[in-house]
Amino acid sequence: MAVNVTRVAHRHVDVDGLRIFYRESVPSEQESLTRPPLLLLHGFPSASHQYRRLIDVLGDRHRLIAPDYPGFGHSDVPTPASAGGDFSYCFDRLADVMERFVDVLGLSRFVLYMFDFGAPVGFRLATRNSDRVAGLIVQNGNAYDEGLSDMARNFIALDRDDPGAEEQVRALLTLPATRAQYEGGTSNPDEVAPDGWTLDQHFLDQPGRSQPQIDLAFDYKSNLRQYGRWQEWLRTHRPPTLIVWGRKDPFFPASGAHAYLRDVPDGELHLFDTGHFALEEKLPEIAPLMADFLDRLSRSGW
């Protein structure tokens, strides 16, 4: 019996002097060339490894590309400007690098998968390159005020100079906090493999890794100032949009998922009884929705 096994390439590419790591599926079907590539933008505190199972499931028919941002995973970790270096760890800069990344790979048009940090990075990429975006898949990636829980609002409101603020951020970089992000809100924690949060913590604990995360945490409030712009972009361009969301996310509640339909009323929304890292528990339900969405885009000529 023939069995299709996804081939995956693991590469580094030079992006303006930074070595950016990425995973890329190598589809076996020639017809995959007629389908839009899918750019997978990861969240905090993870990296491209969070998409390994998704790539295995969809990568034999679709080209999936998952990079690690600077300071994450296997990509370079330039010294932060806040520690005397020349790299500013802010969401504008991460988007700059991802914009150059797609240039270097020659991706003229693609679908964006935006999760967590991937939403502010992805929306910056989209608003700068509207003609490149063939569609959006949004998974617990917020772009609306009502999509912020009280816990998220309180955390985002922290300023670097506030007493004890840095200690609060550092507490989020610990193993219990990392594990809780994966297991919180899940219906069956036994279905969440420990590999994800264990590997995340491995990278977080490496020398020089905490300051980039602290800088990004304090910069997160810059994203809220962009919400209006991103919503206007959605209303203007009306990209084909699939929204898949863990309704028990303690940071980004389901109200943020529903809000997208104000600006993309033809969007397709699916809520799941799980938490923030929805793919960890609900991949068997989410992957077919993604495959159908990508196939419909292919038939439309994207």
Q: Mind listing the pLDDT tens digit for each residue in 47-96?
A: 999 999 999 999 999 999 999 999 999 999 999 999 999 999 999 999 99
Does position 113 have pLDDT exceeding 90, yes or no?
yes
pLDDT attached to residue 5: 82
Does position 182 have pLDDT exceeding 80, yes or no?
yes
pLDDT attached to residue 35: 87
Report the CATH number that the domain containing residue 235 is assigned in CATH.
3.40.50.1820
- Structure confidence at residue 34 as a pLDDT band (50, 70, 90): confident
Give a yes or no: residue 123 inside a domain: yes
- Structure confidence at residue 43 as a pLDDT band (50, 70, 90): very high
Does position 17 have pLDDT exceeding 90, yes or no?
yes
Task: Indicate the number of domains in the chain.
Answer: 1
pLDDT attached to residue 2: 58
Give a yes or no: residue 2 inside a domain: no
268: helix, strand or coil:
strand
276 labelled catalytic: yes
Give a yes or no: residue 17 inside a domain: yes
Does position 261 have pLDDT exceeding 90, yes or no?
yes
pLDDT attached to residue 4: 77
Residue 61 lies in domain: 7-300
Which residue spans within the chain are E strands per DSSP? 7-15, 18-26, 38-41, 64-67, 110-115, 133-139, 241-246, 268-272
Q: Which pLDDT tens digit goes with each residue over 118-132?
A: 999 999 999 999 999
Average pLDDT, stretch 1-21? 90
Does position 1 have pLDDT exceeding 70, yes or no?
no
Residue of 42, 49, 74, 276 marked catalytic = 276
Helix H, strand E, coil C: the string for 135-179 is: EEEEECCCCCHHHCCHHHHHHHCCCCCCCCHHHHHHHCCCHHHHH
Does position 189 have pLDDT exceeding 70, yes or no?
yes
How many other β-carbons are positioned within 10 Å of the β-carbon of residue 164? 8
Give a yes or no: residue 1 inside a domain: no
